[in-house]
Amino acid sequence: MLRRAAVAQEPLSHDDLTPASTAVGPNGGIVTHTPLRWRLAILTATVVAVAVGAVTLVTYWTVSSTLTASVDVELSQKSSLLIDRASEPLQLVHIGTEIERFKSYNPGSRLAVSPPGWTSSRGDNIRLGTDFNPVPGEYFSTFNTVGGERIIAVNNGFGTTVVLAHDMSSTRQLISTLGGILLFIAAMGILLAIAAGMVVATAGLSPLSRLQRAVDYVTRTDDLRPIAVAGTDELAQLTRSFNAMLETLQQSRTQQAQLVADAGHELKTPLTSMRTNIELIMMVNRPGVVNTMSDADLRDMERDVLAQMSELSTLIGDLVDLAREDAPERINEPVLLEETIASSIERVRRRRLDVDFQTDTLPWVLDGDAFAIGRATLNLLDNAAKWSPPDSTVRVRMTQIADDRIELSVADSGPGINEDDRERVFERFYRSPEARAMPGSGLGLAIVKQIIERHGGSIRIEESDDGGTDMRVELPGRPVADDVREPR
């Protein structure tokens, strides 16, 4: 079973460094066979590259904006001083000298000044590259970049205009140098991210590789021993879950082997006895053989054969029901428990006419398998009737113990069950010493417990009021009003 399951899945690649390949999936999509180690490394490198690239762009933009803003602040301060000096009447005579002096102290700058009332400007011919429309009486300034220069034009509202241009080549060179450094750092970061991704992927997938090798070993050798667990991380929890699966599989395999062995043993006993009786009957009826068996013995032997055939048929039916309960298919439908019990009582009453049944039931419905619930109630009632003495009464009572729980009691007047055997009677093929003289396969109560637990219930054994057995079954469900019950 484990081997077929392992083959049905696609195992991890033994060699994490095998070349990547692609194929078309069952839904038309592209399925990649890139090793998980490479995928983790590529994913890590991609995330780091995006982060480094974003930081690099933000840093470059921030530094570039900061440098440009610092140039603008410096130009604003200088233009304010220049426009104040240009507004003084005494400075108009020496305006040319002032311009040259300013340029000597500020290399790389150009200056043009237009005093109040002038229609022309003194200084450099500076092209603004934008419209300059000052409003009389209001301070007005504008910035622009033209031909590698940062230009500010200021008008104080009284006719004085100053145009100052600063060469941005040194600033741009600094920004370009910074961009190159940041690009180099980003490239190195991506390379380091790839290396770190490989290291992290190798270290992180090492326990997974060990788990995969252990799974391959289980698949190859069919050895269901648990896998060693190291640590407490998610992979350790995965290993524990896998060990739990192996334990469950081992238990299932053991139960299957035990079921086959017990079934073979139980089938062998009636078959051997029936074969012996049939051979004796055939020997007596052979031509020329003197019949030394009386008619009464012959009839007793024939009854034994029929009883053994009935026992064999019952055992085979129990095995089929047991296999049916082990099957994964489940039927889920509303089941009227009161009507199911009534139907089971009718069937048991036909087999035990000397036993009376006293019922005290409630309208109750649960969702489940109607056939299985009927089989469970039939087995419970049949077991109670089998152990009840003649002219006794089997008491069937339903009691609601919660809004969604009900208790079903099936009490008989038989010899009861010892406390040491009350748990073991639910085991498959187990029969107490007192029960071995009675017909049966030892599967009836095992089937009952399996059905009850599959439907979310439980079963326990207590002693009845008159010393017999009281089977107590708890089941989920809900009450049904009398006006909505189906007629029987």
In this prediction, residues 474-481 reach a mean pLDDT of 90
Nearest 5°: the CA angle 30, 33, 35 is: 140
Query: How large is the angle between the packed helices 295-326 and 234-284, nearest 10 degrees?
Result: 160
Residue 485 has pLDDT above 80, yes or no: no
Q: pLDDT higher for 23 or 245?
A: 245
Say what percent of the chain tops pLDDT 70: 81
What's the structural domain count of the chain?
3
Same domain, 60 and 103: yes
- Alpha-carbon Rg for the chain, nearest whole angstrom, is 49
293 and 351 in a single domain? The answer is no
264: in domain: no
pLDDT for 473:
95
pLDDT above 80 (res 27): no
DSSP state letter for 396: E
Non-local (6+) Cβ contacts of 65 within 8 A are none
Residue-level pLDDT at 266: 64
Q: Residue 7 pLDDT > 50, yes or no?
A: no
Residue at 263 is within a domain: no
pLDDT tens digits, 260-284 = 776 676 677 677 777 887 887 787 7
Pick the last residue of a domain from 223, 247, 262. 223
420 in a domain, yes or no? yes
CB 473 within 8 Å of CB 452 = yes
Task: Please name which of 135, 162, 166 lies closest in space to residue 79, comparing C-alpha atoms.
Answer: 162
Q: Is there a single domain that holds both residue 107 and residue 211?
A: yes
Helices (H), 352-443: 370-387
pLDDT of residue 335: 93
The arithmetic mean of pLDDT across residues 326-330, rounded, is: 55
- Say yes or no to pLDDT of 370 above 70: yes
pLDDT band at 434 (very low <50, low <70, confident <90, very high): low
Please compute the mean of the pLDDT values over residues 225-254 and round it to a whole number.
79
Check residue 289 and give its pLDDT.
65
Tell me which of 33 and 440 has the higher pLDDT.
33
Average pLDDT over the chain, rounded to an integer? 78
What average pLDDT does this structure show over 363-386?
Answer: 89
3-class DSSP state of 364: strand
Residue 467: both structure tokens together: 């010393």
Q: What amino acid occupies position 141?
A: S
pTM above 0.75, yes or no: no
Q: Are residues 313 and 215 in the same domain?
A: no
- Residues 142, 134: Cα–Cα separation, whole Å: 10
State yes or no: pLDDT of 11 exceeds 70.
Answer: no
Domain-embedded: residue 26: no
What is the structure's pLDDT at 471? 93
Is 6 contained in some domain? yes
Arithmetic mean of pLDDT, 294-309: 77
Q: Is the pLDDT at 435 greater than 70, yes or no?
A: no
Residue 450 domain-assigned (yes or no):
yes
| Same domain flag for 188 and 141 | yes
The residues with which 367 forms a beta bridge, in sequence order, are 334
Confidence of residue 407 (pLDDT cuts 50, 70, 90): very high
What pLDDT, on the 0 to 100 scale, is given for residue 17? 38
Asked if residue 353 and residue 310 are part of one domain, the reply reads no
Lowest mean pLDDT of 47-51, 245-249, 280-284, name the range: 280-284
* Predicted local confidence at residue 347, as pLDDT: 87
Pair 96, 161 in one domain:
yes
Q: Looking at residue 112, what is its pLDDT?
A: 85
Same domain, 95 and 179: yes
Residues 188, 320: one domain? no
- Alpha-carbon gap, residue 475 to 377, rounded angstroms: 12
Best-predicted range by mean pLDDT among 22-31, 298-307, 339-348?
339-348
Question: Which domain, by its residues, includes 288?
Answer: 273-325
Angle at 477 between CA 475 and CA 482, to 5 degrees: 120
- CATH code for the domain of 447: 3.30.565.10
Of the listed ranges 62-76, 99-113, 291-305, 440-454, the one predicted with least confidence: 291-305
5 — pLDDT class (breaks 50, 70, 90): very low
pLDDT at residue 8 in the model: 37
* Residue where a domain terminates, one of 301, 325, 349: 325
- Provide mean pLDDT across the span 434-462: 78
d(CA 321, CA 451): 10
pLDDT at residue 20 greater than cutoff 50 = no
Tell me which of 303, 325, 347 is where a domain ends: 325
- Once rounded to an integer, what is the mean pLDDT over residues 341-346? 92
Whether 281 and 365 map to the same domain: the answer is no
pLDDT in tens, 170-203: 888 888 888 888 888 888 888 887 787 778 777 7
Report the pLDDT value the prediction gives residue 363, as an integer from 0 to 100: 93
**Assigned domain for 285 exists:** yes
- The answer to whether residue 155 scores a pLDDT higher than 90 is no
The answer to whether position 235 is within a domain reads no
Same domain, residue pair 148 and 203:
yes
Query: H/E element holding 351?
Result: helix 337-351
Asked if residue 24 has pLDDT above 60, the reply is: no
- Do 342 and 315 belong to one domain? no
61-75, 204-218, 341-355, 399-413: the lowest-pLDDT one: 204-218
Q: 357: pLDDT confidence band, cut at 50, 70 and 90?
A: very high
